[in-house]
Amino acid sequence: MCKYQTLCKGAIVILIWNGFSALAAVYDSDGSSTNVQSIHDTLAQNGDTITLPASTFTWSGGVNITKAITLQGTGVGSTAIRDNVQSGSLIRVALVAGAVTRITGIDFQDGGRVNTTVQGAIKVDGSNTNGSQFRFDHNAWNRVKGNVLCDTVIGVIDHNAFTMFDNSSTVTIYGSHWNGGNYGDGASAAPTGFGSSQFLFIEDNVWFGVRDSRLCCSKSRNGKHRQSSRREGVGGLNNRQL
């Protein structure tokens, strides 16, 4: 049996499920990077959600996420973040052991970044041994001058629409610290692991306006991420190129 009780006009949700209770808070930001960072640093805890309202926001400063939160917009075509960060990542994520970090419902757009970054317009650092997970879902990636870079990340990238800028990669996957190793040595030595959860799954995404779907695997093994490292193919399940 599952009961949901909402307090404070939806700001705090108490979940009771088979005797297990968890307290999670939802914080409504004003959509600016400074406000999102402030809520993250001073209010949000693991399991909480920071929302962005329906509007278009230009971020000139990046956001660092070090807690297992959900960063949630109101949907593609409704909440947009325009990347005007000139140095470093638009969003940098350090995954939390035993917890899920999620980014969802946001239309990411170019907002004036001058130089394309290959070190991650969104950079996610994780571990395959501590139970941390990441989900990037129901977003759009519209000609952002950079990639989504995931290093040693377990989780899923699903139901997104990617439109490339120039010939850059949209999603780049590293396994630098797989099984505690360095330079991808741990990934190279590990068994493939088909049938296990030890993957970053890439599923049900669409790539627009490109001759080839630019996913790149580096310092990792092709099978580890259930997707192809070849330029001419997108692996995983039900990915499409239009």
CA torsion 210-165-158-187 (nearest 10°) is: 100
Of 136, 229, 132, nearest in space to 177 by CA: 132
| Structure-token match 């139901």, residue found | 159
Q: Give this prediction's pTM.
A: 0.82
Q: Which helix (H) or strand (E) holds 38?
A: helix 33-42
pLDDT tens profile 54-65: 999 999 999 999
Judged by DSSP in three states, 223 sits in helix
* pLDDT exceeds cutoff 90 at 8: no
Q: Please report whether residue 11 resides in a domain.
A: no
Strands 240-241 and 206-208 turn out to be parallel
- Region of residue 196 (left: phi > 0; alpha: psi -120 to 50; beta: else): beta
Classify residue 36: in a domain, yes or no: yes
Model confidence band, residue 219 (pLDDT cutoffs 50, 70, 90): very low
35 located within any domain? yes
Asked whether residue 87 is domain-assigned, the answer is yes
On whether residue 5 sits in a domain, the answer given is no
Tally the domains of the chain: 1
Question: Region 102-124: what's the mean pLDDT?
Answer: 93
Nearest of 201, 209, 211 to residue 239 by alpha carbon:
201
Tell whether 77 is covered by a domain. yes
Q: What's the pLDDT tens digit per position in 49-99?
A: 999 999 999 999 999 999 999 999 999 999 999 999 999 999 999 999 999
Backbone angles phi, psi at 236, to 5 degrees: 90, -155
Task: Give the DSSP letter of residue 194.
Answer: T
* Mean residue pLDDT across the chain: 81
Q: Is residue 2 part of a domain?
A: no
Residue 121: inside a domain = yes
pLDDT digits (tens, 9 = 90+) for 157-205: 999 999 877 766 788 888 888 888 776 667 777 777 777 888 899 999 9
Q: Domain range spanning residue 171?
A: 26-241
Average pLDDT over residues 214-237: 40
